[in-house]
Amino acid sequence: MKKVLIPTKLDTIARETLTNHGGYEVVQDYSTEFSALAAQHPNAYALIVRSEKVTPAIMDSMPSLKVIIRAGAGYNTIDTKYARAKGIDVMNTPGANANAVAEEVVALMLADARHIIPADATTRVGKWEKNKYMGKEITGKTVGIVGFGAIGQLVAKRLSGFDVKVLAYDPFLSAERAKDLGAESASLPEVFERCDYVSLHMPENEETRGIINKSLLARMKNGATLINCARSGIINEADLRELKADKGLRFLNDVYAKDAEGEKSVADIADIMLPHLGASTNEANYNAAARSATQLIGYDDKGIASYVVNRDIPEGLDRAYSELAFMLAHLCRSIAGGNKKMKLIETSFYGNLKPYGDWLLVQIVAALSDEFDRTQGYDAALEYLKEMGVEYFNRETDSNKGYENSMTVDVTTSVDAAHFQRISVRGTVTEGNMMISRINDFDKLYFEPVGAAALFIYKDRPGVIGQIGNALAEAGINIDDMRNPHDPSGKTSLALMKISQEIDCALVDSIAKKIDALHASCVNF
C-alpha cells in the first residue's frame, strides 16, 4: 500500500476516499510539527498540504515521496523546481476554493460599505454612533474585476443580485464571452477609471508583480475601493500609500507576503485586513480535500496528470522547441498590441513536433495570458481557453511542404467590436538556436528571438531604414541585427531589428509617426 501523509487540518473526505479505495494507507496528523512528522514517515509516497511550506529539507526527509498535492490553487509554498529535480510531481486543485473567495469579496464590500466592523465594536461598549456610520449601497455601482477566471466570474455572478455593472479585464477574455457572463470587456486603465470597486484576481508572476501601480491607481475615482484577495505582490504598496489619502481610496485586503504572525506592511493603508481567509470555509475545505483524493487516485490508476504543475519537457522533445512555442506566441501578443482580446488560436506542428502538439499548446497559452502557468497540462489549457471563450484549432500538416521540425502559431484578436486582426508567425530550431522564419507574409527571416527587438511595417520607399537608425542612435540604442524583407507584392516592407537594449514603446510610437508606419511594436523576448 502507498502511504499518504496529510499534515494539515483538511476535511476527512480525503482520508476516507483514499482509505475506501483500498490502495492507500493514510496518516493525517495536524498536531505534530510538520518537519518532525515528515521525518517520522520517510516512506510516504504522497503528501497532501494546504498552506504548509514544502521545502527541500522536507522533501529530503521523505526519500520515497513521488507526489505532492496542494489542496487549493496556489502552490507558491512548494519548491516546485526542487521537486522536479527529485522526480516529484506537484499537483494543485484549481477551482476548489473559487466560490469561497468570491463570497469573501462580497463580504468585504458589504462590511466596508456599511461600517460593520467599527459599528459592532462601538455598539458593544455601549456607544450609539448611528450618525457616524452613514454607509453607502453597492446596488447600481460599477465593479471592475481584474482577472476573469473562475474566481472573477463567480464574483460577477454573486454580485448580479445587486444590479451592478461589471467591467472585466482579462487579456484572454473575448468580448462575446464577457457578455455571456454578464460583463463588459474593458482595458485595464478603463477598469480603474470607470469603477467604484476594483477587485483583483490575477496571479503574481514576473509580468504582474507591481502591476497595480501609480499610473493605474491615479485613474481611480475619488472614494473608490480596491479589494485584493489574490496575491500581495501585484500591488505597489508605496504607490497606494502615496495616493490613498488624497483620493480617499478604500483598501480591503486578505493577502500578504507571508502567511504568518507578525507586523504587516499594509497595516497603515488597509481599511480592512483579514488573515488570508479566502479559502477558509467548510465547503471549500471539503471540495479541496475531495479533489486532492480523486486526483491522486486518477493519477495512480489512470495516469491522469492534467493538474501536475511542474512537469518537465516530455521525453524526446528538445527543450528549445518548448521555448520556441512560447516565444512565437509572445511575439504574436506583442504584435497584436499586448493585451488585445483573443478570438482564435490556430497551430501547425510539422515533422517530429507533431506528437508534442498538445504539450506545446500549453506553452503558447501561457505566453498569451499572464494568468495561465506554463507548467500546467493540456487539459487545463483547453479548459482555460473554453472558460475564456477562445477557440482553438490544431491544423493537420502536410509533410510535403518541407518545413521539417517547425511550428506555426496564428492568433486572431479583436481590434474593435466589428474588426479582427490575424497574426501568423512560424519558427524552427537550427543548431540549437530558435529562429523566427516568417511573420505574416514576410518570409525567410531567420531571426533569433532573444533580447530586445523593434518591428516596423511600412510602405516601401528609400530612406526609411536610415530614419529608424538615426532615431535609435539619438536614443543611444544600437542595431545589433536586422531583417528588411518585402511582402510578395513588393509594396510593403518589414524592418525587424534586434537592438542593444530594451526600448521604450513611446520611442517606437515616435519613430512610427516619423516614417508613417502601418504597424510598429516593441518586443522583449
DSSP 36-99: HHHHH-TT--EEEESS--B-HHHHHT-TT--EEEESSS--TTB-HHHHHHTT-EEEE-TTTTHH
Q: How many helices (H) and strands (E) does the chain have?
A: 17, 22
Cell of 465: 531604414
pTM for this predicted structure: 0.76
Amino acid at 470: N
How many angstroms separate the CA atoms of 183 and 200, rounded? 15
Q: Where are the domains of the chain?
A: 2-95+283-302, 98-273, 313-439, 451-525
Cell of 188: 485595464
Yes or no: is domain 98-273 CATH 3.40.50.720? yes
Largest CA distance in the chain: 85
Helix or strand run (H / E) with residue 498: strand 492-499
Helices 98-113 & 116-124 angle (0-180, nearest 10): 60
How many angstroms separate the CA atoms of 422 and 301, rounded? 42
- Asked if 98-273 and 451-525 have one fold, the answer is no
pLDDT for 308 = 86
Amino acid at 460: D
Q: Is 473 helix (H, G, I), strand (E, B) or coil?
A: helix
Amino acid at 386: K
- The DSSP annotation for 268-308 comes to TT-SEE-SS-TT-SHHHHHHHHHHHHHHHHHHHHH---TTB
How many angstroms separate the CA atoms of 292 and 289, rounded? 5
Cell of 4: 499518504
pLDDT for 432 = 82
Q: Is 151 helix (H, G, I), strand (E, B) or coil?
A: helix
How many angstroms separate the CA atoms of 304 and 299, rounded? 5
Neighbouring-strand partners of residue 453: 498, 523
How many angstroms separate the CA atoms of 25 and 4, rounded? 6
Helices 98-113 & 282-302 angle (0-180, nearest 10): 160
pLDDT for 378 = 81
> Along the 525 residues of the chain, how does pLDDT read in single tens digits?
999 999 999 999 999 999 999 999 999 999 999 999 999 999 999 999 998 999 999 999 999 999 999 998 878 889 998 998 899 999 999 888 899 999 999 999 999 999 999 999 999 999 999 999 999 999 999 999 999 988 999 999 999 999 999 999 987 787 788 888 999 999 899 999 999 999 999 888 777 899 999 999 999 999 999 999 999 999 999 999 999 999 999 999 999 998 889 999 999 999 999 999 998 999 999 999 999 999 999 999 988 877 888 876 777 788 889 899 999 999 998 888 766 678 899 999 998 898 889 889 999 998 988 878 777 778 788 888 888 888 999 998 877 766 788 999 999 987 655 557 889 999 999 888 899 999 999 999 999 998 899 999 999 999 999 999 999 999 999 999 999 999 888 899 999 999 988 888 889 999 999 999 999 988 888
Q: Kindly state the DSSP code that residue 487 receives in the 8-state scheme.
A: P
First to last CA, the chain: 48
Yes or no: is domain 451-525 CATH 3.40.50.2300? no
pLDDT for 301 = 93
Cell of 85: 529535480
- Residue range 2-95+283-302, CATH number: 3.40.50.720
CA dihedral 184, 188, 192, 197 (to 10 degrees): 50
Distances (CA, A) of 243 to 231, 450, 512: 20, 38, 34
Neighbouring-strand partners of residue 344: 391, 412
Backbone angles phi, psi at 49, to 5 degrees: -130, 165
pLDDT for 56 = 96
- Residue range 313-439, CATH number: 3.30.1330.90
pLDDT for 340 = 66
